[in-house]
Amino acid sequence: MRSRDGNHSFTLRLCTIIILSSFALNAGEYLISYKYIVKNDVLFNESLDISKSMKKCRGIPAQTLILPANEQNNFVKLISHHRQEFIDYIHQLGLDIRSKDTTTNNQINSTTIITLKTTCFKVDFNDNFVKISHLKQP
Amino acid sequence: MKYSLILISLLYMTACAAQEKKAVPEVPVNKAETIAVPNNTTINVTYKDEKKSKMCPAKTQHPMTKQKKDVLSIHEPLIISVVGQGVAPVNTTSPAQAYALAKRAATADAYRLIAEKVKGVSVDGQDLIKNMMVKRSTVRTSVQAMVRNANIVETTFKDGLCEVEMEITLSHSDFAQ
């Protein structure tokens, strides 16, 4: 069976569509925010929030982290397994720092809040590895 | 009429010249504003290190500003190194957890130190004086910044104290707009 333009067969076109859609299904976009609070040089609170993006993110993939893939292609589980590596990667992207020290009658109270604002990441699941890319706003 | 105008302008110029000569060796005087209330007093101190001249605004320069030089040169990057300290919480389940938490606290401290060095600190002070005695003295410092590409060079953990040595390289292109 020949297509209307006469160059590509119908089977080839169908295979291309299936392959491309399978690639698209394996790639996902996630919104991640991270925050930790240090009070008087002791870690007070730490939170890492991960959520699948409900709409397409805009941006160019910038810095990339490659992690070994797990069996289920579950991003949250993957991050929980490689938490420290992912947090080190987040630190490289740039974090917002807010620090307040109050000294009252020579007694100091310090609070430092470090935040990564909600950022979109593109995640590509492959056979052996997962590629996480930070989407930089154009 | 013409002569009087010329005379006035000459007098003004000589007065300016005399004031410039005075202004150069003069060290700026710190001003302190104090409000005294008999029973309960709050003192806010504001220091002003610039003395403005109303008559001759030009050519009156602070002695320190003459030696002002760019900290960051175009060809040479600036490396800032700090050591942040953090302590593990008391209720930890294992030494590994204590290390991880202390390291996180030390990293935050190092980030704060970098922000303080690069961006500066805003300082605010307040003294409460009651019956001629200092009741409360408060100093508040704060810093807010965004730090990117800071690297941890070395981490040490000893006796519950974690120290993180952090480095950041600043180049002229990072700030050029």
Q: How many CB atoms lie within 10 A of CB B143?
A: 22
Q: How far is CA A124 from CA A23, A67, A127, A128, B78, in A?
A: 9, 10, 10, 11, 37
Residue B146 near residue A97, CB atoms below 8 Å: yes
Per-residue confidence (pLDDT) for residue B42, from 0 to 100: 56
The secondary structure element, H or E, covering residue B15 is: helix B2-23
Window A:42-101, CB contacts with B under 8 Å: 42-43, 46, 84, 91-101
Interval A112-127: pLDDT, tens? 999 999 999 999 988 8
Neighbours of A86 (CB within 10 A): 21
Test the A interface: residue of B91, B112, B134, B174 with most A CBs within 10 Å = B112
Phi, psi of A123 (to 5 degrees): -120, 125
Q: Spell out the per-residue pLDDT of chain B, length 177, in tens.
A: 566 667 677 777 777 666 665 555 544 444 444 444 445 555 554 444 444 444 444 555 555 555 666 777 777 888 999 999 999 988 889 999 999 999 999 999 999 999 999 999 999 999 999 999 999 999 999 999 999 889 999 999 998 899 999 999 988 777 666
Contact A40, A63 (CB under 8 A): no
Q: Check if the beta carbon of residue A85 is closer than 8 Å to that of residue A67.
A: yes
The pLDDT value recorded for residue A101 is 95
B136 neighbourhood in chain A, CB within 8 Å: 104-105
Residue B50 and residue B61: Cα distance in Å, rounded?
Answer: 9
Is the Cα torsion angle B123, B170, B105, A136 positive or negative in sign?
Answer: positive
Q: Taking CA A111 as the corner, what is the angle to CA A110 and CA A112, rounded to the nearest 5 degrees?
A: 125
Quote the CA–CA distance of B83 and A95 in Å, as a whole number: 18
Residue B51: predicted pLDDT: 45
Angstrom distance (rounded) from CA B18 to CA B23: 9
Residue among A48, A103, A34, A110 at smallest CA distance from B86: A110
What radius of gyration, in Å, describes the C-alpha atoms of chain A? 22
Q: Which of B104, B115, B138 sits opposite A97 (nearest CB)?
A: B115
pLDDT computed for residue B41 by the predictor: 54
Greater pLDDT, A52 or B35 = A52
Q: In the predicted model, is pLDDT for residue A22 greater than 80?
A: no
Averaged confidence pLDDT in chain A: 84
pTM recorded for the entire structure: 0.68
pLDDT tens readout for residues A65-110: 999 887 777 888 889 889 989 999 999 899 999 999 999 998 999 9
ipTM of the complex: 0.75
Residues of chain B contacting A, Cβ within 8 Å: 85-89, 100-102, 104-109, 111-112, 115-116, 136-150
- Residue A4: pLDDT band with limits 50, 70, 90: low
Q: How far apart are CA B40 and CA B60, in angstroms?
A: 41
User: C-alpha distances in angstroms, A2 versus A10, A13, A20, A133?
Assistant: 6, 11, 22, 40
**E-only strand ranges, chain B:** 40-43, 78-87, 122-130, 133-147, 151-158, 161-170
Handedness of CA B156, B162, B165, B168 (dihedral sign): positive
Token reading at A67: 């992690």
What distance in Å separates the CA atoms of residue B114 and residue B123, rounded to the nearest whole number? 17
CB contact under 8 A, B139 and A103: yes
Tokens (6 digits) for A37: 């609070």
CA within 13 Å, CB half, A123: 25
